[in-house]
A = this chain, B = another copy of it.
Amino acid sequence: MQSRSDNRAVVLLSGGMDSSTCLWWVRAQGRAEVHTVSIDYGQRHRVELEFSARLSARAGAASHKVIHLDLTQFGGNPLTDAGVAVPRASEGQQVRTVVPYRNMLFITLAAAHAETLGIADLHIAAVRDDYRSYRDCRRAFYDGLERALSLGGSHDREVRIHSPFVEMWKTEVVRIGLELGVPYEETHTCYEGKRPACGLCDACVERIAAFRANGVRDPIEYEIEVEW
């Protein structure tokens, strides 16, 4: 087994609220180096990738790697396919935004990059709100994936998937992020890819609720009028 004394970490960064908070959280743990990975999966809103690069720089990440995996190949997904409408929260259909094993593929790609850096500690910002819809955002899944990654790496070493927020609701994550000084004005959430944000899609509705529960006004702009 490789020594676990290595104090470097990789963070999977989407440019959204949760992963940005995760990046600041890892930084606060006193890691010697934090490296970020973002996935260019053919997302309709390319703004996510710009925000990821900017957030990495602002957090002082040692490197920022963009890995390309075109999920439009799998078809029929509203986050990548311009022909498919994004479901609204009121329709209760968040599950339709899933590409099979999307999260698993992203983590495995991050693990491959981490291995080339000699890093065994990965961080993923799944929150409790996610695993209602996404089975590959649950801790039981991460435990299984950790084992597969440890068994399948080029060397005999223990790979760790840290999921510091997996038992927290988004509201708690935002509270932590506000304490850590996460620049939420530079994060992107809207499923419609809009700036100002639409305020109506699932993602916007959840984001607004999380800020409101903390008694704080979200620093980003919305197309609709939001009461804080």
Residues of the B chain whose Cβ atoms lie less than 8 Å from the Cβ of A150: 144
Number of A positions contacting B (CB below 8 A): 41
Q: Is the interface of A mostly helix, strand, loop or mixed?
A: helix
User: A145 contacts the other chain (Cβ, under 8 Å)?
Assistant: yes
Q: Is the CB of B141 within 8 A of A148?
A: yes
Q: Tell me the bound Cα distance from A149 to B105 in angstroms.
A: 11
- Of B68, B108, B147, B155, the residue contacting A108 (CB under 8 A) is B108
User: Does the CB pair B154–A135 fall under 8 Å?
Assistant: yes
Contact A74 B116, CB 8 Å, known A101-B111, A108-B101, A144-B144: yes
Q: CB of A138 within 8 A of chain B?
A: yes
A135: chain B residues at CB < 8 Å are: 151-156
Name, among A69, A100, A103, A136, the residue most crowded by chain B CB atoms within 10 Å (CB to CB): A100
Name the interface residues of A96-146: CB closer than 8 Å to any CB of B. 98-105, 108-109, 111-113, 115-116, 135-136, 138, 140-141, 144-145
Chain B proximity of A92: nearest CB distance (Å): 16
- A70 is an interface residue with CB less than 8 A from chain B: yes
Q: A100-B112, A108-B108 are in contact. List 4 more A-B contacts (CB 8 A).
A: A100-B115, A138-B151, A145-B151, A145-B152
- Distance in Å: Cβ of A198 to nearest Cβ of chain B: 26
Residues in B whose Cβ lies below 8 Å from that of A89: none
Closest residue to A137 on the B side, CB-wise?
B152
A67 interface residue per 8 A CB criterion: yes
Chain B residues within an 8 Å CB radius of A102: 112
Give me the 4 closest cross-chain CB pairs, A-B, nearest first.
A136-B152, A100-B115, A144-B148, A100-B112
A111/B100 in contact, CB under 8 A: yes
Q: What would 13 A/B residue contacts be, using CB atoms closer than 8 Å?
A: A74-B112, A74-B113, A98-B154, A99-B112, A101-B108, A102-B112, A104-B148, A135-B153, A136-B151, A141-B148, A144-B147, A147-B147, A148-B148
